[in-house]
Amino acid sequence: MEFLSVATWEDALAARAAHPGALPIAGGTDVMAGLNHDLDRPSALLDLARVPELSQWHTHEGIVRLGACVTYARIVAELGDRLPGLAMASHTVGSPQIRRRGTVGGSLGSASPEGDAHPPLLAAGAVVEAASVRGVRRIPAVDFYQEDGRGALAADELIAAVLVPVATGPQRFSKIGGRQAMAVAVASFALSLDPTRRRAASGIGSVAPAPRPAAVANEFLTGELEASGLWDSRAGLGESLMYRYGELVTEAASPSDDIRATAEYRRLALAVMARRTLARAWSQYQGGQ
Ligand SMILES: Cc1cc2nc3c(=O)[nH]c(=O)nc-3n(C[C@H](O)[C@H](O)[C@H](O)COP(=O)(O)OP(=O)(O)OC[C@H]3O[C@@H](n4cnc5c(N)ncnc54)[C@H](O)[C@@H]3O)c2cc1C
């Protein structure tokens, strides 16, 4: 197997175009597991880890541009204030070793329905920046995840970065797995409260063929918060609102039975997580955060 090592972004894009059979590799936590289990035998690996701009992030006009190779460990350490939802999710990924290697770009490259980064990216309204020798394309996260378990990348494209709006209110992430650490999510949920735009948004994971927003629940909560003047009063959310919200989040799911959980358990878990996550996020908002 050939190993293509590039040091510049231009060379990476040129190599991607010239070697369509080459598999990009960032942290390698998915790629190497696939190779070790003989699930994949690409003709070449295209190593992105030495391209400097992929490992950088910066904020411009309220948007964090997160290079594709920024690791989970760095998101936790450096971006907890700007991207609290993604940082919470990053903290739950694998183990310290996996978090020091694994990247959000790699998670998008795998586009697995279980990836912990996806629900907070959906809830935050993130946009994936894809590039090729043909140019740059921006794909909203909501359009990126395909039901066949792949990302919406063309064969000659690489993920350059993810553009994530800086949080203006509480963001939270919840995940249920078989144990506290090193667990693939059985169900996951992310919520973002945006008092500036007066919007609530969420993303669900591991409960459908692809990560997706809970669109009807988002509209319901956004509408209720506005209609009852709750953004301004910061009064408590009623039980009936919370239960209806949990129900609507669950209606967005289409889970299946598998080795980790039944579809029924996933639905129940999602409703409970949605209610609790909303309660915690709202309590944070009431407390002025
Ligand atoms: C023990 C273990 C535990 C884990 N636990 C979790 C967990 O709890 N939660 C979770 O979400 N994940 C978990 N993972 C999965 C994995 O760590 C994540 O999916 C991680 O985000 C992958 O990032 P990476 O940089 O290692 O990607 P890689 O393995 O390098 O690449 C993954 C895929 O993305 C493609 N790719 C990488 N970079 C780019 C790019 N810039 N452009 C286009 N394609 C690209 C690759 O070709 C490949 O298809 C675990 C993995 C292991 C081995």
All residues at 6 or more sequence positions from 80 whose CB lies less than 8 Å from its CB, including other chains: 87
Domain for residue 229, yes or no?
yes
Of the listed ranges 39-43, 64-68, 227-231, 266-270, the one predicted with least confidence: 39-43
Domain for residue 139, yes or no?
no
Domain for residue 224, yes or no?
yes
- End residue of a domain, out of 32, 48, 64: 48
Q: How many CB atoms lie within 10 A of CB 50?
A: 14
The CATH number of whichever domain residue 8 belongs to comes to 3.30.43
Domain for residue 108, yes or no?
no
Domain for residue 233, yes or no?
yes
Does residue 67's CB lie within 6 angstroms of at least one atom of ligand 1? Answer: no
The residue segments making up the domain with residue 268 are 171-286
Count of domains observed in the chain: 2
Does residue 109's CB lie within 6 angstroms of at least one atom of ligand 1? Answer: yes
Does residue 93's CB lie within 6 angstroms of at least one atom of ligand 1? Answer: yes
The rounded Å distance from CA 116 to ligand 1 centre is: 11
Please tell me the predicted confidence (pLDDT) of residue 288. Answer: 84
Contact 118, 202 (CB under 8 A): no
Please tell me the predicted confidence (pLDDT) of residue 182. Answer: 83
The CATH number of whichever domain residue 276 belongs to comes to 3.30.390.50
Give which of 33, 47, 77 is closest to 182, Cα–Cα.
33
Average pLDDT (40-45) is: 91
Domain for residue 57, yes or no?
no
Indicate the SS3 state at residue 273.
helix
98-154, pLDDT tens digit by residue? 999 999 999 999 999 999 999 999 999 999 999 999 999 999 999 999 988 889 999
Q: Which atom of ligand 1 is nearest to the CA of 158?
A: 42
Please tell me the predicted confidence (pLDDT) of residue 38. Answer: 86
Domain for residue 132, yes or no?
no
Please tell me the predicted confidence (pLDDT) of residue 289. Answer: 64
Domain for residue 258, yes or no?
yes
Residue 288 carries which DSSP code? T
